[in-house]
Amino acid sequence: MKHLTIALALLASSLSASAEVLKTKLVDDGGSGLFKAIAVKDAELPDFVIYHPKDMTYAHARCGAMPILIWANGACLDSSIDYERMLTEIASRGYVVLAIGEMQDSRDSRKQTHTQSSEVKRGLDWIFSQARTRGSDYFDNVDTLRVAAAGHSCGGAQVLANAADPRLSTCLIMNAGMGDIEMAGASRASLPLLHTPTLYVTGGESDVAFQNARKDYERISHVPVAWANHPASGHGGTYGERFGGDYARIMTDWLDWQLKKQVDRAETFLGGEAKGYSGWSISAKNFIDFKNVRPLWIMNGDRQIFGELFRPSSPDKSSRQPVAIIAHGFNGTHHFGRAYFDVMGRLGYQCYVFDFPCGSVNSRSDNNTLNMSILDEQSDLRAIVNYFRAQPDVDPDRIVLIGESQGGLVSALTAAQMPDAVSRLVLVFPALCIPDNWRARYPRLSDIPEVTTLWNVKMGRRFFEEIHDMKPFDIIAKFKKPVLIVQGDKDNIVHLDDSRRAQRLYKDARLHIIPGAGHGFKPSEFQQETSQLELFLK
């Protein structure tokens, strides 16, 4: 009887957690995919439409937890009725799609209004909550580690306004681009916030977004990006065609590649011929063989460090490879370190990029920046070095640290702490001045407030207390092995004299100055850096 009571209680809890479906809609007979899909108006999220396989239990049994796509509409409107054929088709392929705007039976059934870019975040918050709620229709049926955001025209700008969201795995910018305009809270300044592979789709030069998309594509250098162009479709695309037409096909190919890791779909974008897409042209850049990249969590006591490990292909699978460990700067993430995959792969190095716990508001390790600490970051970097020293496929005598800005300070301090474990050190606009700068601002410990805000990032008192008496230049020279320092002569954050001083202190150091470069390199400047890196490591 006791077990029956518990079972009934669990059932009641499950039923109470399951949301009420207010309305459903069938479009294009549920799509052409394996799983017939429906559009749903959920009582807990009535101002969105959720497109998903009608039988999610069956879909889960066939393909596991399904990736998530959040969709933003053209003109930033609160209706997906013009896209429901395409979104249904995508859902029928094993996806759960959340589209901004209340369900409509027909285009003139109600007045449409504009929405805020924050709706993208609100939709993601809701589905993530449902994924954790036992008894929800989405519990165990959606995969919160495989998430895409896509939008048409102004909706594409709404996606870019949310580009920094660490939950996103990929972005699709449909008939949209920022160029030199501002829209929906996004601008060209949003592009550096992209941290995922990104697809742009345009409808030829008659598409009003064509020139802006082209500028975006040319400007993006830090993440993989593809640009698919179909001159015949114009700005309106093929969204309204049966099963969404070519736009649904190309979106699904991209999602299957990026979220389901169906590597054969990569040929659509990397083959240079737009196979199977008549009249299309497709360009791509910054791609590496992502079959060689895997997520890797490393433990430092009870601290979990998230990162990605790139291991280049090697004819000798049993060979030990050197490894480069990339330490990001203040409020950075592992995404910016991906730019090193290509050069390190050419040199035969494994490359590990990671998020310092508490080092960024977007950190997947821990985003509580009030607990940011230089000493903790040193400890985390030591743990990472020790992890790779113990791996059977890593050459323990060739472990290189590459640190940018604050990550440069941490890398320099860590190399001095474990000089026998680190073979070479690369410092990119290293912020060795951090302790001096903050000591000048807070001369006495009593001057330090509980919370300091820097560039919209909140930092706790501990960060400043720990470095108050730190003198990096007295420490770093303990590292006697080769050092490369790269900095621009227009850096307004880190004074070039600090790098010159470091060069003099190190036993074996070279300093490469990039004319005109500031704190953070443009693509051409980064190429200069990597050229020096190749010479240094060869």
For residues 304 and 390, membership in a common domain is answered with yes
CA distance 85 to 105: 13
* Contact (CB, 8 A) for 484 and 532: yes
Q: What is the pLDDT of residue 10?
A: 38
Q: Does residue 302 form part of some domain?
A: yes
Q: Does 335 score more than 90 pLDDT? A: no
Q: Quick check: is 226 in a domain? A: yes
Give the integer Cα–Cα distance in Å for 255 and 146: 10
Over residues 162-215, the pLDDT tens digits come to 999 989 999 999 999 999 999 999 999 999 999 899 999 999 999 999 999 999
Output the six-digit token pair for 266: 């990569």
- 272 and 297 both lie in a single domain: no
The reply to whether 280 and 386 lie within a common domain is no
223, 256, 285 - which closes a domain: 285
The DSSP code for 509 is E
Looking at the fold, whether 403 and 367 belong to one and the same domain comes out as yes
Per the domain annotation, does 352 fall within a domain? Answer: yes
> Are 196 and 269 within one domain?
yes
In this prediction, residue 15 carries a pLDDT of 36
**In whole numbers, what is the pLDDT of the chain averaged over residues?**
92
My answer on whether 298 and 272 are in the same domain is no
- Give a yes or no: residue 10 inside a domain: no
Do the domain assignments include residue 273?
yes
Q: What pLDDT is stored for residue 175 in this prediction? A: 98
Give me the pLDDT at residue 169, please: 92
**C-alpha distances in Å from residue 250, one per residue of 194, 232, 274, 278, 282:** 21, 15, 10, 12, 11
Q: Is the pTM of this model over 0.85?
A: no
Same domain, yes or no: 272 and 313: no
Region 297-321: what's the mean pLDDT? 87
Identify whether residues 398 and 523 lie together within a single domain.
Answer: yes
Q: Which of 221, 255, 285 is the last residue of a domain?
A: 285
Residues 270 and 148 in one domain: yes
Does the structure show a pLDDT above 60 at 75?
yes
- Spatial neighbors of 174 by CB under 8 A, at least 6 apart, are 150, 151, 152, 153, 155, 156, 201, 237, 247, 251
Longest dimension (CA), the chain: 80
Last residue of a domain, one of 285, 316, 332: 285
Per mean pLDDT, which range of 212-226, 287-301, 348-362, 393-407 is the poorest?
A: 287-301
Alpha carbon separation from 506 to 215, 412, 487, 532 (Å, rounded): 42, 11, 16, 18
Q: Is residue 311 part of a domain?
A: yes
Tell me, yes or no, whether 226 and 373 share the same domain: no
Domain with 418 in it:
290-537
pLDDT tens readout for residues 494-528? 999 999 999 999 999 999 999 999 998 877 788 89
507 occurs within a structural domain = yes
252/364 same-domain check: no
The 10s digit of each residue's pLDDT in 230-245 is 999 999 999 999 999 9
Overall number of domains in the chain: 2
348 and 272 in a common domain: no
Model pLDDT, residue 290: 59
pLDDT of 162: 97
Q: 316: pLDDT confidence band, cut at 50, 70 and 90? A: low
We report the CATH number of the domain holding residue 205 as 3.40.50.1820
Indicate if the alpha-carbon torsion angle 132, 133, 137, 140 is positive or negative. positive
DSSP string computed for 388-447: HHT-TTEEEEEEEEEEETHHHHHHHHHHHH-TTT--EEEEES--TTHHHHHHHHS-SGGG
Task: Record the tokens describing residue 491, joined without a space.
Answer: 């850096």
Q: Is residue 5 part of a domain?
A: no
Of the candidates 345, 231, 247, 249, the one whose C-alpha atom is nearest the C-alpha of residue 288 is: 345
